[in-house]
Amino acid sequence: MLPAQEQRPLPAVAVPDYILQPSDLLNIQVFQEDNLKRDVRVSQEYSITLPLIGKVDLKGKSLRQAEDMIRDLYDRDYLVNPQVNVVVVEYAKRTVNVIGQVNQPGAVLFPQEQGLTLLDALARAGGFTRYADRKKVKLTRTNTDGKTDTYIIDVDDLIKGRSSNSWPMLVNDIVFVPEGIL
């Protein structure tokens, strides 16, 4: 006979590489080339400008892909086998808004280089008030094409493990917790 709650290890989850965002501050160094060392902020158009190679488009690029791209650009015409290191010094602020029947409504910051699930966002907003309707939490999300989608989520199912979707948050999502009827 098995115990009522069998302990099972959680499956390993691969964390995707961080994709560079506008307003990220990058430190770029080229080994033994101190005059090429720069701190640059990613523009709203996802680009940076560096000495000798000029404008570099980083849209959709991870940190490692940016490093490889910059290395290739310097290697092409200016340096022999350059060793390039790119580090994010300051991340762009990433938030979701949690409003309604939570204890601390407002903007919730994403942990840097990590994802944020619906339950994480609700916990960071102080959890539900006693008047919250946990079965009708509304998630409003604007897609890349500008279209807005709204989902009604039963958070009690998430808490009890009856839902396979953890609802990963995206930047600028809005979570609304309605008031339940007493």
What is the full per-residue pLDDT of the chain (182 aa) written as tens digits? 444 444 344 344 444 577 888 999 999 999 999 999 999 999 999 999 999 999 999 999 999 999 999 999 999 988 999 999 999 998 888 889 999 999 999 999 877 667 788 999 999 999 999 999 999 999 998 877 788 999 999 998 888 888 778 888 888 889 999 998 76
Domain boundaries along the sequence of the chain? 25-90, 95-177
- Non-local (6+) Cβ contacts of 10 within 8 A are none
User: pLDDT at position 4, please?
Assistant: 43
CATH code: domain 95-177 is 3.10.560.10
Class of domain 25-90: alpha beta
Tell me how far apart the alpha carbons of residues 122 and 99 are, in angstroms, rounded to a whole number: 9
User: pLDDT at position 5, please?
Assistant: 41
